[in-house]
A and B are shown apart, each in its own frame.
Chain A
Amino acid sequence: MKELFYYIRKNKFAYVSLYILGIFYFLAIFADFIAPYPYDIQHRDTPYHPPTQIHFFDEKGNFHLRPFVYKYELVDPVFKTYEVNYNVKYPIEFFVKGHKHYLLGIFETDIHLFGVRDGKIFLLGADNLGRDIFSRILYASRISLSIGLIGVALSFTIGALIGGVAGYFGGKVDNVIMRLSEIVMSFPSFYLMLALRAVFPITLSSVEVFLLIVVILSFVGWAGLARIVRGMVLSIREQDYVVAAKSYGASSLRIIVKHILPNTYSYLLIAATLSIPGYILGESALSLLGLGIQEPYASWGNMLASARSITAISSYPWILSPGVAIFLTILAFNILGDALRDAMDPKLKRLIK
């Protein structure tokens, strides 16, 4: 692990990516403190409110140490156009009292990191129901960021175990498992995802949907990994220490889990980092089509669902901002995974040989 970190530090991009991901996860954990509004608070009087600009200089050019926002007034309720009212200023305050929330799920408090006392602050605008998109992105990141980790953990456990069993026992077991994985891999994955989602009712509680998506994505994702692990196990099982473990009577499961699979961990770590984006994308795609996380809960995918109307995109382009969050997260994971792969490569080659 220390060695890995050394390589990441040497790679500028990877180091920055690691920081960005760290910040994202931090934001996700403290979302209810950092977000000025809860994810489900609707401001029906300000639908499609444009992003509020933060000013340090007022309209006369005077400098204010405390940043402020102007009031936006709805001038056309049909096309939802707003105009800035330069006469009304709302200073931005820190540690301001707002809606009640539970910090880390335990401590009850109503303090938010920032906010305005009377007016409204929508850093990234508001959606059709007047919900703050910035706050919703923060809350949504909890789902999108955790689904990658949990999904990868699940499918890698399944994949590594199945691949380990196939490689260790060989013969018929191996044959059956490999044919099965070929079938799963030959499916157009998007169709398989849709079909699996259709097995379960559309209306599920949000926790159930979350778990369901994880299971579906893992079901689609285990096969490729199992094949690679199998290939590695085939060569590892001939090693002396495996023979030794066998000779003192260790059970097959123990040999696979304790002696063989640890040799594949470095590979698994890289593969996991590189496959997290797939899970984030899978969740977003399902939610985008209305099959994943349901309103009022926010996920990056279902926030983009409103962008499926062309008029909405062209008039209120800020509803696309969750897409930027997805992009940055995936980019960071890709760069990190690539750097890890570069770092581990010589070692990996030796391992496989």
Chain B
Amino acid sequence: MFSYILKRLLQMIPLLVGITFLSFVIIQMAPGDYLDQLRMNPQISESTIEKLKQTYGLDQPLIVQYFKWLFNALIFNLGFSFSYNMPVLELIKDRLPNTLFLSITSGILAWMIAIPLGIVAALKPNSFVDRLIQMFSFTFMSLPSFFLAFLLLFFAVKTGLLPTGGATSPNYDSMNFFQKVLDRLWHVSLPAIVLAVTSLAGLVRLVRSAMIEALQSEYVLFARAKGLKERDIILKHALKNALNPFITILGFEIASLLSGAALVEIIVNWPGMGMLMLDAVLSQDLYLVMGGLYIGSIMLIIGNLIADILLAKLDPRIRQREVEGVLK
């Protein structure tokens, strides 16, 4: 198993280099750089700018700059944010937990609703309940996340049943531990509902079709013939097999949650990576953008790795082919 994980990790390295290099090139293509804005500021002398230039190697060729950054990034030295005047790692450390918290909460919420709905819909395909669930998933699949966020914000302002933005209440620091947990959950509820509802719609459809296929298979027929309880057949036999492909999706889900969350974060003022990245891109804060993309792709890679490991653990066919080297 260990060598399998190692192999997977090694395969990810070219991807990481590719992503960072591409983003480096894109950012460099932008007209001017952050130093231009500093130059406009009369309070900053020419020599300070010269010094900044040398420290970050901004006067060297692109490829040298890139490798300089890459080697530092490997030890998580992500450079300095020009606009926030702070190390990039500190900034990201501040924001990343919020984004992860939001993504994971909404992910759990989405799966918790999607799986039961998908199963119910699959039990009697084309029945009234199935059609209702399908219509529901179609509607929410087509609802733009930002529009849903606006609608829920409107609802929140009118009724006070949902929070209206931010990650914590103003008096957060004076709360005890239990209140803090509740406060955080309360504030995450609106963006998490938005993200969960918009992503669960697609999941329901996938669970439904996978379950329909699994329920028609021969092992389900066999389990029925053996006289197993319907409940056991659905949950233990059919569901377990139907969910295999979803573990792969889970890995990619992390990337899409990350980027899907960004827009919603900006709208509901959630202090996560989305807002940070928007600011960074707008002010051409090179190292901050690179740091954000770097951490983002690392999260994606970890997500895929977790999915791979889970898949190898759960599916004997994959375990034998990939890990134990049989059936090649």
Contacts and interface: CB of A to CB of B under 8 A. Distances in A.
Interface of A: 179-180, 182-184, 186-192, 194-201, 277, 281, 284-285, 288-289, 304, 307-308, 310, 313-314, 317, 320, 323, 326-327, 330-331, 334-335, 338
B144 A281 contact: yes
A326 B142 CA distance: 9
Contacts of A335: 138
Contacts of A201: 31
> Which secondary structure characterizes the binding site on chain B?
helix
A33 to B, nearest CB: 28
Contacts of A199: 26-27, 29-31
Contacts of B150: 304, 307, 313, 320, 323
Contacts of A188: 255-256, 258-259, 262, 293, 296, 300
Contact of B147 (A189, A195, A200, A327): A327
A36 to B, nearest CB: 25
Contacts of A313: 150, 153-154, 157
Given A187-B293, A195-B289, A198-B281, A277 B142 contact: yes
Contacts of B282: 198
Contacts of B138: 331, 334-335, 338
Contacts of B22: 183-184, 187
B51 interface: no
B165 A310 contact: yes
Nearest to A189: B259
B143 interface: yes
A191 B147 contact: no
Contacts of B151: 320, 323
B260 interface: yes
B266 interface: yes
A184 B256 CA distance: 13
B144 A326 contact: yes
B144 A289 contact: no
A327 B255 contact: no
Contact of A304 (B15, B31, B147): B147
10 contacts: A187-B23, A188-B262, A195-B23, A277-B142, A289-B266, A289-B278, A313-B150, A320-B150, A320-B154, A327-B143
Contacts of A198: 27, 30, 281-282, 284, 289
Nearest to B139: A331
Interface in B277-306: 277-278, 281-282, 284, 289, 292-293, 296-297, 300
Contact of A194 (B165, B260, B281, B297): B281
6 closest A-B pairs by beta carbon, nearest first, are A188-B259, A323-B147, A190-B259, A331-B142, A183-B18, A314-B157
